Structure 1
């Protein structure tokens, strides 16, 4: 079944409304029950079932590069296409360029590089929770979930401690640009200018850091990206900069949301908070269920490289396919009791890190960070409880908390 275009437009507008940010899932259920949403005049199809989203993510004709969309091609012909700063990161590339770049980055971003960060992550977490205990009040986002991932990424890349605040500000500004709905709602000129400045600062900083690492290599990921080689092929400097940008921007915001969403889900299910505090071995199950139940990435987009049929819906080449993961993860055709937060559910297969060629390269790091953070905070503050209503950021795609006050 396909929802009528007028209904589709109304549902999309509701999704954009900030009033629905605290609980988008009832709206997602309406979306899903109505079937795929088609807006031919906008060259857009929205898929909401688990089966359809999974198929699109795996499909060989699904592109991650927006230049392949009909809308982008029209903008190019009209001379109105937005200008890229440097080459796209591999998140936005297709094979064979994506295959080559991912292969080289994977050699540097090996499991041993991630596992070697665990002592640093534990030390960072303990230090942050020590400061919370001294103050006696706990604002989760500001005190914990937000500063932790950027500190980890800075250590991963070998960024100086003094530069972390600027990195954090740049990351927050640039992460907002990952929301595809900003093209519908528009971006105020001052915000667009701030993002451009943040992007330029970040690129210049990484170029300078690369120069220093070429003469003084370290044991950080940036030195590894410079040194990685396969059959004579190496990453160009622009490719290294784009990869670092991607790690910071996408890896920071999503991990902030993962930690915050998991803490809120457990606080609303106090038995889960207590169980994790008593048994840190439950952390991986908490992380995986959060990625399903309240995913940090609520939707992703793909472009049809050829005419496709997904779930009985015809998608012409060049159309954008929006995959509403928030709806797919509550699909009763795939998950038993989908609206229940149950870390003990068996056979969980969420789409939170993607599928196929674009499966998230940073998934092991996100899992490690979140697992360490959640097991530590529940053990340190076993009696924590909500102190006021949670508040949410405006971002539709990267849905997460802007404020979560706890009494500890």
Structure 2
């Protein structure tokens, strides 16, 4: 074997090892080291399941930004065990996996209900709830931040926004966890996770259908009531669209935000100089959430399929061919971000020389509709912590992560607070 052949063989072995680690158990706590190996080895690689993966910011951003790539094929790529006939009940994702013109029509209707004014109106309630949760944590002294803050904050806000009563909080939370787990590729999920996803989807559909009937009889000012009445030149949401939209809104507004809070706080506790920077300049709390999401995206990967023959990263994709976008790798590309692995809560504060947009909320027509709410919840939490908590201490060097690959988050975050 020549030296050149040896180098190629070693490179290929390193790539395959990184892919195994990225999508395997090791990637739960650290998907970024294998992501860096892949990114430095090349812009595109092939997974053991046969999918191409993109590693670099320029290519990932280009794919997410254009309708030359469709999100409508995700069900087929990631969930081959679900038949097209069962998908509406098994995978109720609303406009998330649609393309124009259906996506345009449905998103325009939903946007009429999910307005910036609605998000702004929620701020006093978010502040009130956050104060209460932080006070409870201070009283406990040592506690699990995931259990006492990261999940309750977005859970209660999402439930109140949509119109879910308090007695149902625990049930919809369990369904949300099972759906988030089920976003991973079907062939990587144990049978019990597939069954749990199916039960959660059908449970959500049945529950929201019952709630919708109540709102149609007695409308309130919650999102479910608003969406049931929204209209655009005679066009309205069908019942199936409305139910799927509520489920998507709930899971996205609850699960991914909880993960942002958990992993974001873990990163800050591991970088206490950044907490000190926010204490010195509290205005940075408004910019820190974007930096935390860049470094710890709740949605780690997404998929697209080519709508026509197209070349990306030197690879020619045929029409219909799929690609996996590694958001976790793209967000740490040193060609796009200065010192990309460093936590810098001021990175997005310079309006004269703005940093590149991270891909944590996607780009293009699939940019996250709930992004302002997620950022607001994290910002308010940081504001309250800076004001009320003097000591923020991580009590475990290795807090456990959930087994999820696509929607990544902590299972627990042992923490200690001391009052200011």
Q: Same fold (TM over 0.5)?
A: yes
Q: Corresponding residue for 2:60? A: 53
Aligned residue-pair number:
400
Deviation for aligned residue 1:59: 2.2
Partner residue of 1:66 out of 60, 73, 76 = 73
1:278-317 residue pairs with structure 2 within 5 A? 279-317=281-319
Deviation for aligned residue 1:43: 4.9
Q: Corresponding residue for 1:185? A: 188
Deviation for aligned residue 1:278: 5.6
Q: C-alpha distance in 2, partners of 1:26/1:327? A: 9
Unaligned runs of 5+ in 1: none
Q: Corresponding residue for 1:116? A: 121
1:128-167 residue pairs with structure 2 within 5 A? 128-167=133-172
Partner residue of 1:102 out of 102, 107, 130 = 107
Q: C-alpha distance in 2, partners of 1:297/1:25? A: 13
Q: C-alpha distance in 2, partners of 1:111/1:205? A: 27
Relative to structure 1, is the Cα distance of residues 278 and 95 closer, same or farther in structure 2, using a 3 angstrom cutoff? same
**Is the CA contact 2:93–2:247 (under 8 Å) kept in the aligned structure 1?**
no
Q: Corresponding residue for 2:416? A: 407
Q: C-alpha distance in 2, partners of 1:68/1:199? A: 14
**1:373 lines up with 2:381 in the alignment:** yes
**1:393 lines up with 2:396 in the alignment:** no
Q: Corresponding residue for 1:251? A: 253
Relative to structure 1, is the Cα distance of residues 395 and 186 closer, same or farther in structure 2, using a 3 angstrom cutoff? closer
Partner residue of 1:84 out of 77, 84, 87 = 87
Relative to structure 1, is the Cα distance of residues 206 and 394 closer, same or farther in structure 2, using a 3 angstrom cutoff? same
- Secondary structure (helix, strand or coil) at the match of 1:247 reads helix
Deviation for aligned residue 1:155: 0.4
- Secondary structure (helix, strand or coil) at the match of 1:21 reads helix
Partner residue of 1:37 out of 16, 32, 44 = 44
Q: Corresponding residue for 1:355? A: 363
Encode CA deviations 1:271-328: one digit per residue, 9 max, x unaligned.
Answer: 2223334654222211011111222221111111211101211112222211111111
Relative to structure 1, is the Cα distance of residues 193 and 23 closer, same or farther in structure 2, using a 3 angstrom cutoff? closer
Q: C-alpha distance in 2, partners of 1:376/1:279? A: 14
Q: C-alpha distance in 1, partners of 2:245/2:93? A: 9
Relative to structure 1, is the Cα distance of residues 392 and 300 closer, same or farther in structure 2, using a 3 angstrom cutoff? same
Unaligned runs of 5+ in 2: 1-7
Q: C-alpha distance in 1, partners of 2:193/2:43? A: 33
Encode CA deviations 1:125-179: one digit per residue, 9 max, x unaligned.
Answer: 1111122122222211011101211111000011111111111111111111122
Q: Corresponding residue for 1:263? A: 265
**Is the CA contact 1:277–1:375 (under 8 Å) kept in the aligned structure 2?**
no
Q: C-alpha distance in 1, partners of 2:339/2:333? A: 9
Q: C-alpha distance in 2, partners of 1:397/1:159? A: 26
Q: C-alpha distance in 1, partners of 2:96/2:311? A: 24
Q: Corresponding residue for 2:237? A: 235
**1:218 lines up with 2:220 in the alignment:** yes
Q: C-alpha distance in 2, partners of 1:277/1:164? A: 34
Q: C-alpha distance in 2, partners of 1:39/1:20? A: 17
TM-score (normalised: structure 2): 0.89
Relative to structure 1, is the Cα distance of residues 39 and 106 closer, same or farther in structure 2, using a 3 angstrom cutoff? same
TM-score (normalised: structure 1): 0.91
**Is the CA contact 1:39–1:45 (under 8 Å) kept in the aligned structure 2?**
yes
Q: C-alpha distance in 2, partners of 1:201/1:177? A: 14
**1:382 lines up with 2:390 in the alignment:** yes
- Secondary structure (helix, strand or coil) at the match of 1:138 reads strand
Deviation for aligned residue 1:233: 0.5
Deviation for aligned residue 1:350: 0.9
Relative to structure 1, is the Cα distance of residues 184 and 36 closer, same or farther in structure 2, using a 3 angstrom cutoff? farther
Deviation for aligned residue 1:11: 2.7
Q: Corresponding residue for 1:172? A: 177
Q: C-alpha distance in 2, partners of 1:6/1:80? A: 36
